[in-house]
A and B are shown apart, each in its own frame.
Chain A
Amino acid sequence: MPQLNPDPWFLILSLAWLTYILVLQPKILSNKSMNHPTNKNNEIIKTNPWTWPWP
């Protein structure tokens, strides 16, 4: 089974961690939400829908 060949093990391991830390985490961190997380409130807020700008 080629997965058990220990040659590329360190390469795969280190590259996986490096991608995880240096690429993915900043991407996920850039998703800033607009509001603080709060508990649910029972009132339904009426908002007017707005037109979205197409990308």
Chain B
Amino acid sequence: MNLTFFNQFTSPQIMGVPLIMLALLAPSAMFQTQNNRWLTNRLSLLQLWMINLFTKQLMSPISKTGYQWSIILTSLMIMLLMINLLGLLPYTFTPTTQLSMNMGLAIPMWLATVLTGLRNQPTASLGHLLPEGTPNLLTPILIIIETISLFIRPLALGVRLTANLTAGHLLIQLTSTATFTLLPTMPTLSMLTMVVLLLLSILELAVAMIQAYVFVLLLSLYLQENT
């Protein structure tokens, strides 16, 4: 069978046995469970500090009723971060390139924020559909536009993560193929492409972390509007 550049994104299988479970469990192994000791070690402390710092940063603009979401958002961030970072290693599979996983995370989370808002403060949540200070003539059109933008949010959330990671992995594969193919015939050009590849890898490292953060940040933003 002919392999295309997209074949790196097929869900991995060995003889019919799906390996996606391994790809999803490995990132959890990167983050250790703390034991119950009062005095732990340096790494555990760093982990605890990172989690506390991140949670504090994320939850500070949200009201007190929204603090129940802190475990949801923090663990989501850790999961996406670890999955994205591990996917940058060669020959690993990144589950966040799968549209199914990202949409499956984005749609329920977004829906939960919207339903929380509609349940606890329906007037205020519906009031978000009309920005303050709009001229009276524009009201109906603006409500329609805001409703459409509300419904596009989960799609954008899921597809943003998928597309960023897919594009990054694809670019890495393309430039590395180019480097390899050019090596026998034009070695100088091959070295230049290798430099591009190195820069791209650094970019992908940043993108991996940033995209995880953006996902969670936007969710917290939607939460902020609705609590």
Please determine whether chains A and B interact with each other in the same assembly: yes
Interface residues of A (CB under 8 A from B): 1-5, 8-13, 15-17, 19-20, 23-34, 37, 52-55
Contact yes or no, B78 A24, CB < 8 A: yes
Q: Which residues of B contact A29 (CB under 8 A)?
A: 71
Question: B187 to chain A: closest CB distance in Å?
Answer: 34
Contact yes or no, B51 A31, CB < 8 A: yes
**Given A11-B20, A13-B100, A28-B78, A3 contacting B166 (CB threshold 8 A):** yes
Q: Helix, strand, loop or mixed for chain B's interface?
A: helix
Interface residues of B (CB under 8 A from A): 6-7, 9-11, 18, 20-21, 24-25, 28, 31-35, 38-39, 41-43, 47-48, 51-52, 56, 71-72, 74-76, 78-79, 95, 97-101, 104-105, 162, 166
**Given A8-B100, A16-B24, A16-B104, A28 contacting B7 (CB threshold 8 A):** no
Q: List 17 A-B contacts (CB under 8 A).
A: A3-B98, A3-B166, A8-B18, A11-B20, A15-B21, A16-B95, A16-B101, A19-B79, A27-B31, A27-B32, A27-B75, A28-B31, A28-B78, A31-B34, A54-B41, A55-B41, A55-B42
**CA A25 to CA B32, docked complex, whole Å:** 12
> In the complex, which of the residues A3, A12, A33 contacts B20, with contact meaning CB atoms closer than 8 Å?
A12
**CA A52 to CA B39, docked complex, whole Å:** 9
**CA A23 to CA B11, docked complex, whole Å:** 21
**Given A26-B33, A32-B34, A2 contacting B24 (CB threshold 8 A):** no
